[in-house]
Amino acid sequence: MTAVAQAPAVPRPSSGSTLTGTGRLVRFMLRRDRVRLTVWTLSVVAFYAYFAVALDAMGPEALAGRALVMETPAGIVMGGPGYGIENYTVGVAIANEGITWVVLALGIMSVLHVVRHARAEEESSRSELVRAAPVGRHAPAVAAIVTLFVVNAVIAVASAFALYGASGEAMPLVDSFGLTVGSGLAAMVFGAVAVVACQITEHGRGATGIGLAAYGLALVLRSAGDIQERHGSLLSWLSPIGWAQQMRSFVDLRWWPAALSIVAILLLLVLGAVLASRRDFGGGLVATRGGRADASARLRSPLALVWRQQRSAFGWTALGMALMWYASGTLLPEILQMGVSGAADNEMFQAVFGGTDPAVFRDGFLSAMMLFAALACAAYAIVMSGRAKAEEAAGRAEVLLALAVSRSRWFGAHLVVVGLSTVVLMAVSVYAMWVGAVQVGMDEPGLAAYTDVFWTYSVALLVYLGLAAALYAWVPRFASAAWLLLVYSFVVGMFGAVFNLPEGAEAISPLDWLPAGFGEAPEAANMVGLGAVVAVLLALALLGFRRRDLQSN
Amino acid sequence: MTATPAIQIDDLRKSFGRVQALDGLDLTVQPGEVAGFLGPNGAGKSTAIRVLLGLLRADSGTARLFGGDAWRDAVELHRRLAYVPGDVSLWPNLTGGEAIDFLGRLRGTVDKKRKADLLERFELDPTKKARTYSKGNRQKVALVAAFSMDVDLLILDEPTSGLDPLMEAVFTEYVRETAATGTSVLLSSHILHEVEKVCDTVTIIRNGTSVESGTLDELRHLTRSNVTAVVSDDPSAVGGLAGVHNFATAPADGGTRVTFDVDNAQVGSAMSRLTALGLHSLTAAPPSLEELFMRHYGDVLPGAESAADGADDTASAAPTAPGTAGAR
């Protein structure tokens, strides 16, 4: 028959077809993430403004002292290449010290944003629904980058005005823009790295890891380069963080280093697009490695399992604490020098750190540092003891307790692992600081004093673990009330002298039972008392957990 | 039977706040028996199982495993049983194979050969991290771990949710195989044909209390058969017989099609009347457990049956699934 209608022609694909639907996806992502992105924006803008106000409040002399700290290696790692360090004004300080941290924050935001939209969606197969609609292959990734650009642009503009406003218009607006735009572009480089990573790995976690590792590498390169030479050497120029800092905002602004970021972003996006065209939906260029089909011989007890669950969190925490306290140790001489002069005319300082006599001030300052170190370890203990609750809620405790595992053995495994981890972290913090201090020639106080601090604080730390565990065992709903003790300990430890609290009230904080001065010999009765409290709390915890119903949803 | 029951629950009560989850539950599983534990979601099946495992403490009543106290002797008793929860949650950073080995080692040694066989039959890739497993695959990990253990009792709480029909068949086969070695099985489910396929006895639970229990055959006595026949003469007299319900007729090729439900006690008299009417064809379907469910989850309890006859009729008028009926 001749009347058969011609089959409708398949529309010829146009050259832009892999991007079809990008605009709608952009609107969709902005809508989905409106809360998340608003919080990021407000936080970063507030950080800029707060930093400017806080530095301004220090006054020119303290800023000059701060500049000295920023010339030490640890200061350079945490700060920058040292442009304008001879005349350290608020703007110079923000550019020198702030960029590393702003790029870190914005970099994390960028990596998470890209992975969330370009890989996690695919992993969860939600984007299967989207891609089945008339939406191009590259549209989700491009829309993720477009939205990321929009957010970074908004943050850069708002932050520049925030700096300008917070400084009472003392900081030139154009330099503020140089600072915020440079930082935003540097952060977007890490977002672009994440785009490439999303094509390579199958899982969002892997892509996030690559993106954050790229920041770590950039920080190492930048730090090494800046330590080699003031104002940076070749190594500094290999790092996106360096590109933002080399714009020399508030010193001698130049714009061209920003072009390096732009070129890097474009190259990475082209690479991402090429890779994306070569892979399947849902797949990665590198197939996920299979894990072990059989468990290693060591994985045969609840204790081994708990350690396996917590070891990477423990390892990273230990590394972070070691680096931080080592760096603090190397900074001690400068900080003490700066502090003694600062304390001379500041009563609050004197009250908190014990006076202006250098030795007394030093021990007071070290004690304050140890308070922070101890509270960080206490926080670790409380967080990780919460893992037991999470295991119970997820129904994984049930699986083990239905086997020949007693309640005490299961919960005891958690307590042992968290307790030992906490004590080791305290050791890492204390001795890392000692190593740092010795390295810059500060031999007083000696190792014995640090060791006394370590073991006495360790006993006190176990009180936080015991309390969190006992609360979890008896009233799981209020397990997080252990945080109250931590907050209270901080307030008492830091400002107890200022508040003039009654003695009994201070003693609620376990840290108050320890010697006040750094490395002073502890009172035996106090240590026995603390040990008894720990023993009672842990026994209560095990007893309570044995007699209650298991809770699972 | 004189042997100690594998599971013995008497008048078990457990409440969570104001919710009475178990309200006088009775359940017995004899050694070597495959017992079905049937009830809709929220009836209290999982609560009962958690009490049996010593995870929850009963308010009153007794829960014993192999004669031992489920709460006090939990650890010792658990050496002799394996448990598969309805919603399996695994450690995200362990592979399936690692989880199976770990669970096995907490009881004893792992039989590598048996593990490999089970992995192959359940088509499970043991090298994947648990975080990437689907619900069905997590279920398989727990099933492989349970079946690879040499135990006296298997407690399975809705174990096939998330499995496809092929895997369900593999599961059924393993339950039969395990039962053949003398292992007792408690299989909780809200899927009737799963229970019908493998269970010797059934306990039906509703609102925390057992409403019926017995062998499948015994339970069928409580229900009616569904009869469809074509006869040449006028069958209306059959509708007036005692024990006949939902009587209906329709014209058919060569006579009249008649359908009705009949109490099993009255089947004989109904059949002889039908035969006298010139029987062309006849199908009589045994009642499915679906019908048992309709009764117990409709508001009709045994004993109240005659009083609530009207309501009962509407309940059993609901369509039954002929495919599941009489599978045994």
Residue B291's CATH number: 3.30.70.260
Q: Please report the number of interchain residue pairs, chain A to chain B, with beta-carbon separation below 8 angstroms.
A: 105
The answer to whether B102 contacts A291, with C-beta atoms less than 8 Å apart, is no
The answer to whether B106 contacts A300, with C-beta atoms less than 8 Å apart, is yes
Residue B129 is assigned to a structural domain of this protein: yes
Residues B32 and B90 in one domain: yes
Domain count, chain B: 2
Whole-number pLDDT of residue A165: 87
Q: Looking at the partner chain, which of B56, B79, B126 has a beta carbon nearest the beta carbon of A549?
A: B56
CB A70 within 8 A of CB A96: yes
Residues A260 and A346 in one domain: no
Residue B301 is assigned to a structural domain of this protein: yes
Structure tokens at A535: 């023993």
Residues of B in contact with A401 (CB under 8 A): 53-55, 74
Give percent above pLDDT 90 in chain B: 43
Whole-number pLDDT of residue B269: 86
Euclidean distance between CA atoms A145 and A166, whole angstroms: 31
Residues B91 and B109 in one domain: yes
Q: What is the mean pLDDT of chain A?
A: 86
Residues A169 and A230 in one domain: yes
H helix intervals, A116-256? 121-123, 126-132, 139-166, 173-200, 204-228, 240-245
* Eight-state DSSP code of residue A94: I
The answer to whether B55 contacts A401, with C-beta atoms less than 8 Å apart, is yes
Residues B125 and B247 in one domain: no
Q: Looking at the partner chain, which of B53, B76, B97 has a beta carbon nearest the beta carbon of A293?
A: B97
Return all residues near B311 (Cβ < 8 A) that are at least 6 apart.
B298, B299, B300
Q: Looking at the partner chain, which of A395, A402, A550 has a beta carbon nearest the beta carbon of B87?
A: A395
Whole-number pLDDT of residue B326: 34
Residues B182 and B262 in one domain: no
Residues B196 and B243 in one domain: no
Say whether residue A396 is in contact with chain B using an 8 A CB cutoff: yes
CB A55 within 8 A of CB A90: yes
Residue A288 is assigned to a structural domain of this protein: no
Say whether residue A387 is in contact with chain B using an 8 A CB cutoff: no
Where in the sequence is the domain holding B283, given as residue range(s)? 219-316
* Residue B115, domain CATH: 3.40.50.300
Residues of A in contact with B132 (CB under 8 A): 203, 288
Say whether residue A400 is in contact with chain B using an 8 A CB cutoff: yes
Residues A471 and A338 in one domain: yes
Neighbouring CB atoms inside 10 A of A485's CB total: 19
The answer to whether A295 contacts B94, with C-beta atoms less than 8 Å apart, is yes
Whole-number pLDDT of residue A322: 92
The DSSP annotation for B16-42 comes to ETTEEEEEEEEEEE-TT-EEEEE--TT
Residues B165 and B235 in one domain: no
Residue with the bigger pLDDT between A501 and A207: it is A207
The reported pTM is 0.75
| Lowest-confidence region among A125-134, A195-204, A320-329, B225-234 | A125-134
Euclidean distance between CA atoms B144 and B125, whole angstroms: 12
Residues of B in contact with A305 (CB under 8 A): 91, 102
Residues A269 and A339 in one domain: no
Residues A191 and A335 in one domain: no
Residues A349 and A476 in one domain: yes
List, for residues B48-87, the tens digit of each pLDDT value: 999 999 999 999 999 999 999 999 999 999 999 999 998 8
Residues A472 and A512 in one domain: yes
pLDDT at position B317 over 80: no
Where in the sequence is the domain holding A112, given as residue range(s)? 17-49+100-277
* pLDDT band (50, 70, 90) for residue A332: confident
HSE-up of residue B300 (Cα within 13 Å, Cβ side): 21
- Listed in order, strand segments (DSSP E) in B171-223 are 184-189, 201-206, 209-215
Whole-number pLDDT of residue A1: 43
pLDDT at position B279 over 70: yes
The DSSP annotation for B105-133 comes to HTTS---HHHHHHHHHHTT--TTSBGGG-
Say whether residue A293 is in contact with chain B using an 8 A CB cutoff: yes
H helix intervals, A395-481? 396-401, 407-439, 447-474
What is the average per-residue pLDDT within B254-270? Answer: 85
| Lowest-confidence region among A48-52, A186-190, B103-107, B313-317 | B313-317
Q: For strand B244-252 and strand B224-231, is the pairing parallel, antiparallel, or unpaired?
A: unpaired
Say whether residue A313 is in contact with chain B using an 8 A CB cutoff: no
Whole-number pLDDT of residue B319: 38
Q: Which of B176, B197, B214 is the last residue of a domain?
A: B214
Indicate the SS3 state at residue A476: helix
Q: Looking at the partner chain, which of A291, A394, A406 has a beta carbon nearest the beta carbon of B75?
A: A406
Q: Looking at the partner chain, which of A291, A300, A396 has a beta carbon nearest the beta carbon of B105?
A: A300
CB A415 within 8 A of CB A544: no
To the nearest whole angstrom, how far is the Cα of B268 from the nearest Cα of chain A? 50
To the nearest whole angstrom, how far is the Cα of A411 from the nearest Cα of chain B? 14
